[in-house]
Chain A
Amino acid sequence: MKINTRQKIALFVSLLLFFSCNTQQQSIEVDGYKPVYISYQEVNQPISVQSSTGLKNPGKIYYYNSYILVSDNGQGVHIIDNANPANPVLNTFIKIPMNRDIAIKNNYLYVDSYTDLVVIDISDMNNIKEVNRIKNAFPRAATENLLPPKDLSANVYYECPDNNKGVVVGWQRTKLKNPKCKL
């Protein structure tokens, strides 16, 4: 097969294009997720009680004695007075670092906080207090949020989590430059 001058030029151009990718840093900006961190110090804080400032990222729910508890993914638990379901009242927020799960029996609320199982006395809604903590009941939590939300279409880009920045509590949708991680 004889290669003419035009074909030689074309081949040269294509090779040039091929090598250019490997030598030059491509800058691409895409939609994706970046990790939201909380510090190692904060993640081991005891629970604290405050007024609810509204649902942010509702997750699991639990119903108990006309109250609805809603876990706000990773932040804590809202307590809603549901005596009148047509007019539920958002009252209290129990700040519980890295909380996902809730169960109640006999006015004792059981929650996870990062890797711990925590027992909270809710017999007096005006005086909610932590009464017990079993350390490292859920070692799973330490590796839990290392990926962004699932069930998204193909090619979900995300910023790779960095252990030095703390514990990943959740993910925020954003624009990413040259993300190194992809689902």
Chain B
Amino acid sequence: MKTMKYFIPYIFYSACILFLGSCNKSETSNVTNSVGGGKGGVVGKGGSMARFTIGNNTLYTVDNNTIKAYDITNPANPSSETALTLEGNPMLETIFYYDNKLFIGSRNAMYTYDVSNPISPVHLSTYNHVLSCDPVVVQGNTAYVTLRSGNNCGRTQSFLDVIDISNPSNPILVKSITMVSPYGLGVQGNTLFVCEGNNGFKVYDVSNAQDPVLVKTITGMFGYDVIPLTNLLLLTGTNGLFQYTYTNPNDIQWISTIPVQ
């Protein structure tokens, strides 16, 4: 036993060397993520995680650092492709069309483009934020952006950012709400839904658009993305497709699930 007393520090020391010096061959690189939305008579509505969206007679797509616009006046033959390539490899992940504007989520910023001339997007602003994964949705003069942390997202805390876009050339952060692991989000009327991954989803009252108030957290599924329609919420996640009816943020009722097989 007396001998062991001498050995212990050395064994500990050598174990440390082994741990530090050995077998550490790791590789890291970057991944892309994705979002989108559309509105209007015969156009459908997408979730916030989309990389495709339709506005007017134009299909917009994002792909790493490129925004493309296809004229679909003749829907079977997308044409007049315009490709805008952004500098600095911004990793564009999501696209949302609202009121003749495109709101594009990327790894480090929210880009706003004017598409009054649908096939020729004009840059209005770049709202920079800390590295993260970040879909964006817009209603009225307010943009809601989730900023998710994680290995490939580049930050340690997650937030729901509320941004005043009254002047789309000069977006201003008005509120930042701490989240757990936010994914897609959607806003309809006075209700904002924010997916929280393994933690389900959260329902906010946005009667005051720039001051969301948490009303309810619904758990029991992985919340990935949502589409809020009038009185109907669609939600997907790794567990399936969930539907809820709602008339206001305080009154949300589950109605059906298509579970994964």
Contacts and interface: CB of A to CB of B under 8 A. Distances in A.
A76 to B, nearest CB: 14
Contacts of B26: 181-182
B148 interface: yes
Nearest to B236: A58
Contact of B46 (A10, A61, A90, A160): A61
B44 A146 contact: no
Interface range for B: 35 or more
Interface string A122-149: 0000000001101001111000101100
Contacts of B32: 140, 144
A156 to B, nearest CB: 7
Interface string B39-61: 00011111101111110010101
A121 B3 CA distance: 82
B59 A102 contact: no
Contact of A147 (B29, B133, B234): B29
Contacts of B52: 101-103, 110, 112
Q: Please classify the interface of chain B as helix (H, G, I), strand (E, B), loop, or mixed, using the class held by over half of its residues.
A: mixed
Contacts of A137: 61, 63, 68
Contacts of A134: 78, 81
A22 interface: yes
Contact of A14 (B13, B30, B54, B151): B13
A11 B13 CA distance: 10
7 contacts: A54-B260, A63-B227, A90-B258, A101-B51, A150-B152, A151-B133, A180-B25
Interface of B: 3, 6-7, 9-11, 13-15, 17-18, 21-23, 25-34, 36, 38, 42-47, 49-54, 57, 59, 61, 63-64, 68, 70, 72, 75-78, 81, 133, 148-153, 181, 197, 224-225, 227, 229, 232, 234, 236-238, 240-241, 243, 245, 255-256, 258-261
Given A59-B225, A85-B232, A119-B76, 5 more contacts: A14-B14, A17-B18, A55-B260, A103-B46, A108-B72
Interface of A: 6-7, 9-11, 13-15, 17-18, 21-22, 26, 53-65, 68-70, 80, 82, 85-88, 90, 100-108, 110, 112, 117, 119, 121, 131-132, 134, 137-140, 144, 146-147, 150-152, 154, 156, 160, 180-183
